[in-house]
Structure 1
Amino acid sequence: MTEDVHLGNWAAVGLVAEREVRTRLRSKAFIITTVATLVLLVGFALVMKLVGGGADATVGFTGGATQLEAPLKATAESIGQNIDTRSVPDEAAARKQVEDQSLDALIVGDGSKIVVVVKKDIDDSLRNVVNVLAGQLALNQQIVDLGGDPARVAETVAAAKAEVRPMEPPFDYNGQQLVIGMIAGVLIYMSLLINGQSVAQGVVEEKSSRVVELLLATIRPWQLMAGKVLGIGVVGLIQMIAIGGVGVAAALALGVLTISVGAAVGTVVWLVVWFLLGFIAYSLVFAALAALVSRQEDVAGVITPPLMFVILGYVMGISVLPYDPGNKLIEILSITPLFAPTLMPMRLAMGGVPAWEAALSVALVVALIPALVWLSGRVYRNAVMRSGGKVKLREALRS
Structure 2
Amino acid sequence: MSSVWLVAQREILARARSKAYVISTVVLVVIVVAVAILTKLIGGSGHSDFTVGVTGQTSSLSAPLSASAKSIGQSVATNTVPDEATGRDEVKSGKLDALLVGDGRTVQVVVKKDLDTKLGNALHVLAGQVAFNQKIESLGGDPADVNAAVAGAAVTVTSIQRPHTYNTQQLVLGIIAGILIYLSLLLSGQMVAQGVVEEKSSRVVELLLSAIRPWQLMAGKVVGLGIVGFVQMVLVGGAGITAGLLTGALTIPTSAALSTVIWLVVWYLLGFVAYALTFAAAAATVSRQEDVGGVVTPILMLVIAGYVLGVSILPGDPSSGLIETLSMLPMFAPTLMPMRVAMGGVPVWQLVVAVGGMVVVIPLLVLLSARIYRNAVLRSGARVKLRDAWRAA
Query: Normalization by structure 2: what TM-score?
Result: 0.88
Aligned to 2:163: 170
Alignment of 1:213 with 2:196, yes or no, is: no
Structure 2 gap ranges (5+):
none
Moved more, 234-243 or 104-113: 104-113
CA separation of 1:88 and 1:249: change in aligned 2, threshold 3 A: farther
Alignment of 1:35 with 2:29, yes or no, is: no
Aligned to 2:17: 26
Aligned to 2:284: 291
The number of residues matched between the two structures is: 390
Alignment of 1:307 with 2:300, yes or no, is: yes
Moved more, 176-185 or 325-334: 176-185
Superposed, 1:227-266 pairs within 5 Å as 227-253=220-246, 256-266=249-259
RMSD: 2.6
Aligned to 2:120: 127
Aligned to 1:222: 215
Aligned to 1:4: none
Deviation digits for residues 202-231 of structure 1 (CA, Å, limit 9, x no counterpart):
112112212223323333322221121111
Aligned to 2:144: 151
Aligned to 1:376: 369
In structure 2, C-alpha distance between the alignment counterparts of 1:395 and 1:119, rounded to whole Å:
74
In structure 2, C-alpha distance between the alignment counterparts of 1:136 and 1:57, rounded to whole Å:
20
Alignment of 1:336 with 2:365, yes or no, is: no
CA separation of 1:125 and 1:388: change in aligned 2, threshold 3 A: closer
CA separation of 1:305 and 1:113: change in aligned 2, threshold 3 A: closer
**In structure 2, what residue type is equivalent to 1:267?**
T
Cα shift at 1:159: 1.2
3-state SS, counterpart of residue 107 of structure 1: strand
3-state SS, counterpart of residue 58 of structure 2: helix
Moved more, 203-212 or 84-93: 84-93
**In structure 2, what residue type is equivalent to 1:297?**
E
In structure 2, C-alpha distance between the alignment counterparts of 1:100 and 1:250, rounded to whole Å:
39
Asked whether the equivalents of residues 288 and 380 of structure 1 are also in contact (C-alpha less than 8 Å), the reply is: yes
Asked whether the equivalents of residues 61 and 87 of structure 1 are also in contact (C-alpha less than 8 Å), the reply is: yes
Q: 1:326 aligns with which of 319, 328, 340?
A: 319
Deviation digits for residues 370-398 of structure 1 (CA, Å, limit 9, x no counterpart):
22223322332333333344444344434
**In structure 2, what residue type is equivalent to 1:304?**
T
Cα shift at 1:91: 4.2
3-state SS, counterpart of residue 29 of structure 1: helix
Cα shift at 1:175: 4.3
Deviation digits for residues 8-35 of structure 1 (CA, Å, limit 9, x no counterpart):
x2x3222222221221122121222233
3-state SS, counterpart of residue 293 of structure 1: coil
CA separation of 1:302 and 1:118: change in aligned 2, threshold 3 A: closer
CA separation of 1:92 and 1:258: change in aligned 2, threshold 3 A: farther
In structure 2, C-alpha distance between the alignment counterparts of 1:122 and 1:252, rounded to whole Å:
40
Cα shift at 1:277: 0.6
Structure 1 gap ranges (5+):
1-8
In structure 2, C-alpha distance between the alignment counterparts of 1:256 and 1:108, rounded to whole Å:
40
Asked whether the equivalents of residues 192 and 275 of structure 1 are also in contact (C-alpha less than 8 Å), the reply is: yes
3-state SS, counterpart of residue 155 of structure 2: coil
3-state SS, counterpart of residue 187 of structure 1: helix
In structure 2, C-alpha distance between the alignment counterparts of 1:329 and 1:349, rounded to whole Å:
18
Cα shift at 1:42: 4.2
CA separation of 1:133 and 1:389: change in aligned 2, threshold 3 A: closer
Alignment of 1:279 with 2:272, yes or no, is: yes
Cα shift at 1:192: 1.1
Alignment of 1:138 with 2:131, yes or no, is: yes
Superposed, 1:180-199 pairs within 5 Å as 180-199=173-192
CA separation of 1:262 and 1:106: change in aligned 2, threshold 3 A: farther
Asked whether the equivalents of residues 55 and 83 of structure 1 are also in contact (C-alpha less than 8 Å), the reply is: yes
Q: 1:356 aligns with which of 324, 349, 360?
A: 349
Aligned to 1:80: 73
CA separation of 1:163 and 1:14: change in aligned 2, threshold 3 A: same
**In structure 2, what residue type is equivalent to 1:101?**
G
Aligned to 1:15: 6
Percent identity between the two aligned chains: 60
3-state SS, counterpart of residue 57 of structure 2: helix
Cα shift at 1:145: 2.8
